[in-house]
Amino acid sequence: MQPAMANSKVFVASSLVDVVEGLVEASGIQGISVVAGSSSSLARQIKAGAPADLFISAHMDWAEFVAGDQELLPLFSNRLVLISHDDVALPDPFALAEQLGQARLAIGDPDHVPAGIYARQALEHLGLWPDVQNRLAPADNVRAAARLVQTGLAPFGIVYASDAQLLKLNVAYEFEAQTHTPITYWAVPLHADKPAIASFVQFLGSDDARAIVVSYGFMPLEGQ
């Protein structure tokens, strides 16, 4: 009887759960399980002793919080979009406050959830934050914000383009890249001595991995 293979845990931002599970399957590496949550929550759990072997964050600050002096590995990027429950298109976002009416805008909590932080930056850049900051439905992670729009509890929300593609949500507007800091995903190998983790990190840099990432609605980094 062969001994059971040790399980390696990959903690990932909520927006990454599907693509990382796809990457794990495509890699053929055994013994890896994926744990998803908001980057902020996972980072705090890891610092408190949660048994993560690899952390993939949707924001550099939370990656650095976990990594300390350890080098971060940039992986790929994403875009920010406004989604709507109904089939609505906004040629520009300046009608958002009027379209919201008395309803609320679903976003990740802008105090700590990366998607919410990027959303606040974009709204501030466009001068829309004062009009909507008191009409938010802040969620614990970006997928929770998307679900609020999916179910009609919020008419509009701001999520990543990859979430909109995967969940088949209506994109009402795509924010220009210069309205927020670049959306980059960062890997922090915490136990790179584990063979499964070392092999998976190596696979993440492969052409096959990049093709999978693009198929899920993410974008390769410049120069990759």
Q: What is the pLDDT of residue 3?
A: 39
pLDDT mean across residues, the chain: 92
State yes or no: pLDDT of 200 exceeds 80.
Answer: yes
Q: What is the pLDDT of residue 4?
A: 42
Q: What is the pLDDT of residue 224?
A: 59
Q: How confident is the model at residue 192 (pLDDT cuts 50, 70, 90)?
A: confident
CATH 3.40.190.10 for domain 8-77+183-220:
yes
pLDDT in tens, 166-176: 999 999 999 99
Structure tokens at 34: 């994926």
Per-residue pLDDT, averaged over 171-196, amounts to: 94
Q: How confident is the model at residue 1 (pLDDT cuts 50, 70, 90)?
A: very low
Q: Give 34-61 as a DSSP string.
A: EEEE-HHHHHHHHHTT---SEEEESSHH
Q: 107, 115 in Cβ contact below 8 A?
A: yes
CATH 1.10.1740.10 for domain 80-179:
no
Q: How confident is the model at residue 6 (pLDDT cuts 50, 70, 90)?
A: low
Which residue in 20, 61, 25 sits closest to 37, CA to CA?
A: 20
Portions of the chain given CATH number 3.40.190.10 = 8-77+183-220, 80-179
Coil, helix or strand for 154?
Answer: coil
Measured over the CA atoms of residue 215, residue 216, residue 220 and residue 224, the dihedral's sign is: negative
Distance CA 118, CA 181 (A): 7
